[in-house]
Amino acid sequence: MRNKNHKRLITVAVSLACFAIAFVLDKALPLPIYLPPVLYGSVWILAGWDVLLKAAKNIVRGKVFDEHFLMSAATVGAMAIGRYPEAAAVMIFYQAGEYVQSLAVSRSRASISSLLTIRPDKATVIRDGAEVSLAPEDVEIGEILVVRPGERVPLDGEILSGRSVLDTSALTGESVPQNCKAGDKILSGSVNLQSVLNIRAEKSYGDSTVSRILDLVENASAKKARIENFITRFARYYTPAVVGAALLLAVIPPLFMGNWKDWIFRALAFLVVSCPCALVISVPLGFFGGIGGASRKGVLFKGAAGLEVIDKARLIVFDKTGTLTKGVLEVTAVEPAEDRERILSLAAIAERGSLHPIAKCILLAAPAATQNNYEITEYPGKGIRAIKENEEIVCGSALFMESCGIAYIPATAAGTSLYVARNGSFAGSITVSDVLREEAPEVISALKKQGLSTFMLTGDNDAYAKNIAQKTGVDGYKAELLPDGKVSELEHLMSVANGAVIFVGDGINDAPVLMRADAGISMGGIGSDSAIEASDIVLMRDNLNGILDAKKIASRTLRIVRQNIVFALSVKFAVLLLSAFGYADMWLAVFADVGVTVLAILNAIRTISTHRKKTA
């Protein structure tokens, strides 16, 4: 692409210099009548030989009505009626416009393709006691990878040994390096910054994070927005229509009014103006630039359609667990608070050895030293009884306390509560709950200020859902929903919403709802297969602020695209009318084509450059 741009720039520069020489000679000297056509004709061929060749090839293939045909027909006609300078100028400025277009496309593509640097070149694997360098695609699941400082992690896996610092900016946009140690999960595409790591590969290259992101990025333009589809259809009918109109303009009026040369020239100017390059180039370029700008903010759009939907969204529906909350249980209350350590210590004795998430949560919060010579009996779904000599500890739900004949004081904190008793005497209660994301209330508030409604759907109990709804400030909520219930509730919200509806979920158990919404946004999608499959937008930083970034980028991108459509169509139709009535010469036609295209492209580039400044 770079070499092609360089060649086109040289062609434009040389052609412009030759045109200037021909123009000076033509105006300053009394040249023989045959010399101006030769001079300008040479410039025309130098500047436009590839355009003429492409037009001829496309005609042979049956693809007649494109910009190459329009430029060729207009300039050949101009040469035929003796408008040599205009014919040469049209080709030069057309090539200049193509050069600007190529630069813009290259810049836009680079904004997305910068992510392609996360592709690992090789993987070092231990086989038969020796290190072997392989292509990442050849590494098998379960093999041990060796990743040295400065190298990219080739496959998703678990760190077996070593402690280091990782640069995950290419995956998440997060500039702060992340610490890692043995036992931690590690994502492919991360850069090891500090010391050697031994990693067990847990996924093949095709299923790894880096491969999925690359596939997503490389196919980002696959889903077109409705505006893009409209422009494609518009150009398909518009170009033949204007060619037919130009032909009628060249033939019908002179049959009645004479002056064939004047009407043919008007028709040729009409052809030059009619070229739809400004729309066909600038609209996709605007969307492409928006997608590229978003990727640097840690937001991956799977296509332009996602930009369009989030721009016109009026309702955003959130999942609770893993979306508005962190999806990690913590001990949030112990009652009575003054007996916190004793109650947690008793509960830890009973919960030791249990694999239940609540048990793990309690063990993390309890004092480090706990006794372990107890006979443990677990009652699934109810509680645990721990007995040692003359001591009995009971830990479980309220119903379990009642079944054991123990009087208890109901917990007042919101969340999942379990109760602890020692030797038949109630000791206290422990409440565990999913922790609210710090940014959630601020993001909900910002969305509501922008005029959006917010709603929460969750399978959790009503009391806890109400607590989270109050803390975040969502406009409403529905609790205790099974996955199919979430879909039904979302469909109801979509039927009454005045605009597009977006669902934000964690991309695992929410896949059906993500797919049913007008657009789905997945949280923390780089670690979830179903997130990339089901959602239209992936928040790589696992942070709700990405929704605000996505909406801002989408709004700006759509605004620029609409500006280009209105500007290009207004100027073109105005100059088309002027051309038909003889008030526009070939120079104005050149501006209406090449000039408008260049201005539209420069405007579209703003979708790229603005995001770069903000993320610099």
DSSP 22-36: HHHHHHHS---TTHH
* Active-site position among 311, 319, 460, 510: 319
What burial class does residue 128 get, using C-beta atoms within 10 Å of its C-beta: 0-12 exposed, 13-18 middle, 19+ buried? exposed
Residues 367 and 428 in one domain: yes
pLDDT at 614 over 50: no
Domain boundary among 168, 193, 218: 218
60 domain-assigned: yes
If asked whether residues 227 and 108 sit together in one domain, one would say: yes
pLDDT of residue 228: 56
Give the model confidence (pLDDT) of 377-389 as tens digits. Answer: 988 778 899 998 8
Prediction pTM value: 0.66
Residues 83 and 150 in one domain: no
Residues 332 and 428 in one domain: yes
pLDDT for 530: 58
For residue range 352-361, what is the model confidence (pLDDT) as tens digits? 877 777 888 8
User: DSSP secondary-structure letter at 303?
Assistant: B
Enclosing domain of residue 133: 118-218
262 and 213 together in one domain: no
Contact 293, 237 (CB under 8 A): no
Does residue 234 share a domain with residue 105?
Answer: yes
Average pLDDT, integer, range 549-575 = 87
What's the CATH number where 407 sits?
A: 3.40.1110.10
Q: Using one digit for the tens of pLDDT, what is the confidence trace for 168-199?
A: 766 654 545 778 899 998 888 888 988 899 99
Residue 321 lies in a domain: no
Report the length, in residues, of the chain.
616
Confidence class of residue 613 from pLDDT cuts 50, 70 and 90?
very low
* Span 225-254, average pLDDT: 74
Count structural domains, the chain. 3
Inter-helix orientation angle 260-274/67-80, to 10°: 160
The percentage of residues in the chain with a pLDDT greater than 70, rounded to a whole number, is 83
Q: Rounded to whole angstroms, how far apart are CA atoms 103 and 9?
A: 10
% the chain with pLDDT above 90: 26
Looking at the structure, do residues 138 and 161 belong to the same domain, yes or no?
A: yes
277 Cβ partners below 8 Å, 6+ apart?
67, 97, 101, 593, 597
Is 540 a domain residue? Answer: no
CB 118, CB 214: distance < 8 Å:
yes
Q: Is the dihedral of CA 249, 251, 257, 260 positive or negative?
A: positive
Report if residue 598 sits inside a domain.
Answer: yes
The continuous run of DSSP H or E covering 59 comes out as helix 35-61
Q: Is residue 397 part of a domain?
A: yes
The strand ranges marked E within 162-207 are: 164-167, 178-180, 185-186, 191-192, 197-201
412, pLDDT greater than 80: yes
Residues 251 and 387 in one domain: no
- Work out the angle between the directed axes of helices 545-580 and 277-295 (0-180°, nearest 10): 170
Residues 596 and 564 in one domain: yes
Helix axes 545-580, 226-257, angle to 10 degrees: 0
| Phi, psi of 524, rounded to the nearest 5 degrees | 60, 35
How much is the average pLDDT of 110-129?
71
Cβ neighbours for 369, distance < 8 A, ≥ 6 positions apart: none
Per-residue pLDDT tens over the stretch 196-224: 999 999 988 887 776 766 665 555 445 55
Domain boundary among 197, 218, 239: 218
142 inside domain: yes
| CATH code, domain carrying 154 | 2.70.150.10
Are residues 157 and 75 part of one domain? no
Residue 498 covered by a domain: no
User: Would 526 be classed as within a structural domain?
Assistant: no
Confidence at residue 481, expressed as pLDDT on a 0 to 100 scale: 81
Q: Which of 104-118, 183-197, 601-615 has the highest mean pLDDT?
A: 183-197
Of 403, 435, 467, which residue constitutes the final position of a domain?
A: 435
Pair (103, 230) in one structural domain: yes
> Is-catalytic flag, 506?
no
In this structure, are 229 and 282 located in the same domain? yes
3-class DSSP state of 613: helix
- Strands 537-539 and 519-523, by their bridges, are parallel
pLDDT confidence of residue 395: 94
Range among 19-33, 270-284, 422-436, 514-528 with highest mean pLDDT value: 422-436
